[in-house]
Amino acid sequence: MRLARSPSHFLLCALTTLSLAACGGASDATIGGTLSGLGSGLSVVLQDNSTDKLTLTSNGSFSFATDLSAGAAYSVTVLTQPVGQTCAVSNASGTVDSLADSVSNVVVTCSTSSSVGGTVSGLASGTSVTLSNGSVLLPIAANGSFAFPGTLTAGSTYSVSISTQPAGQTCTLSNASGTVVANVMAVVVVACT
71 with 156, same domain?
no
79 with 127, same domain?
no
185 domain-assigned:
yes
Mean pLDDT over the full length of the chain: 89
Residue among 104, 111, 54 at smallest CA distance from 88: 111
For range 73-100, the mean pLDDT:
96
Q: What pLDDT is stored for residue 7 in this prediction?
A: 56
C-alpha torsion sign, points 29, 109, 35, 60: positive
50 domain-assigned:
yes
Q: How many domains is the chain partitioned into structurally?
A: 2
Contact (Cβ atoms closer than 8 angstroms) between residue 132 and residue 163? yes
88 with 125, same domain?
no
pLDDT digits (tens, 9 = 90+) for 100-158: 999 999 999 999 899 999 999 999 999 999 999 999 999 999 999 999 999 999 999 99
Q: Tell me, what DSSP letter sits at residue 58?
A: S
CATH code of the domain covering residue 54: 2.60.40
C-alpha torsion sign, points 135, 137, 143, 145: negative
2 domain-assigned:
no
Residue among 29, 50, 31 at smallest CA distance from 97: 29
96 with 126, same domain?
no
Q: What pLDDT is stored for residue 5 in this prediction?
A: 59
Q: What pLDDT is stored for residue 24 in this prediction?
A: 45
Q: What pLDDT is stored for residue 4 in this prediction?
A: 57
> What is d(CA 66, CA 49) in angstroms, rounded to the nearest whole number?
10
1 domain-assigned:
no
77 domain-assigned:
yes
H/E run at residue 146: strand 144-147
> What is d(CA 21, CA 18) in angstroms, rounded to the nearest whole number?
5
Host domain of residue 157: 116-192
Band of pLDDT at residue 183, cut at 50, 70 and 90: confident
Contact (Cβ atoms closer than 8 angstroms) between residue 105 and residue 33? yes
Cβ neighbours of residue 18 closer than 8 Å, sequence gap 6 or more: none
142 domain-assigned:
yes
16 with 76, same domain?
yes
Of 112, 127, 162, the domain-final residue: 112
Q: What pLDDT is stored for residue 186 in this prediction?
A: 92
Q: What pLDDT is stored for residue 182 in this prediction?
A: 85
Of 87, 112, 137, the domain-final residue: 112
> What is d(CA 115, CA 51) in angstroms, rounded to the nearest whole number?
32
For range 38-43, the mean pLDDT:
88
pLDDT digits (tens, 9 = 90+) for 14-40: 444 444 444 444 489 999 999 999 988
69 domain-assigned:
yes
